[in-house]
Amino acid sequence: MIRHSRGTMAAGFRPMILLLLLLCCWKLTTGKEGKSRGKKGKQVVCPSELSAEDLAQVPPNSTSNILNRLMVSYDPRIRPNFQGIPVESRVNIFINSFGSIQETTMDYRVNIFLRQRWNDPRLRLPTDFKSDSLTIDPNMFQCLWKPDLFFANEKNANFHDVTQDNILLFIFRNGDILISMRLSVTLSCPLDLQLFPMDTQRCKMQLESFGYTTSDLVFMWQSDPVQMDEIALPQFDIKQEDIIYGNCTKYYQGTGYYTCVEVIFTLRRQVGFYLMGVYAPTLLLVVLSWLSFWINPDASAARVPLGILSVLSLSSESMLLASELPKVSYVKAIDIWLITCLLFGFSSLVEYAVVQVMLNSPRRIEEEKAIMAQKEKDLQEKEGKMVANRKNNTVNGTGGTPIHANTLQVVETRCKKVCTSKSDLRANDFSIVGSLPRDFELSNFDCYGKAVEVLGALKAQNKANKKPAPPKAVIPAAAKRVDLYARALFPFSFLFFNVVYWSVYL
CA within 13 Å, CB half, 152: 19
- In this prediction, residue 298 carries a pLDDT of 84
Reported confidence tier of residue 59, pLDDT bands at 50, 70, 90: confident
Kindly report the CA angle at 391 between 389 and 397, in degrees rounded to 5? 105
- In this prediction, residue 31 carries a pLDDT of 47
pLDDT digits (tens, 9 = 90+) for 9-44: 445 556 566 666 666 655 555 444 443 343 444 567
User: Cα separation of 258 and 207, whole Å?
Assistant: 11
Least confident of 29-33, 65-69, 102-106, 324-328: 29-33
Please give the DSSP secondary-structure letter assigned to residue 45.
Answer: -
pLDDT at residue 456 greater than cutoff 60: no
- In this prediction, residue 416 carries a pLDDT of 41
- Region 95-114: mean pLDDT is 92
Residue 47: which of 23, 26, 21, 73 has the closest Cα? 73
Residue 246: which of 205, 186, 191, 210 has the closest Cα? 205
Count of CB atoms situated within 10 Å of the CB of 205: 22
pTM above 0.75, yes or no: no
pLDDT at residue 114 greater than cutoff 60: yes
High-pLDDT (> 90) share of the chain, %: 47
Q: Tally the residues of the chain.
A: 506
pLDDT digits (tens, 9 = 90+) for 207-228: 999 999 999 999 999 988 999 9
Residues 6+ apart with CB under 8 A from 194: 330, 331, 332, 333
> Average model confidence (pLDDT) for the chain?
80
User: Cα separation of 220 and 228, whole Å?
Assistant: 19
Pick the residue with more confidence: 380 or 329? Answer: 329
- In this prediction, residue 110 carries a pLDDT of 96
Kindly report the CA angle at 348 between 343 and 350, in degrees rounded to 5? 90
Reported confidence tier of residue 391, pLDDT bands at 50, 70, 90: low
CA within 13 Å, CB half, 354: 15
User: Cα separation of 458 and 463, whole Å?
Assistant: 9
- In this prediction, residue 253 carries a pLDDT of 93
pLDDT at residue 468 greater than cutoff 80: no
Phi, psi for residue 170 in degrees, rounded to 5:
-125, 145
- In this prediction, residue 4 carries a pLDDT of 42
Pick the residue with more confidence: 296 or 387? Answer: 296
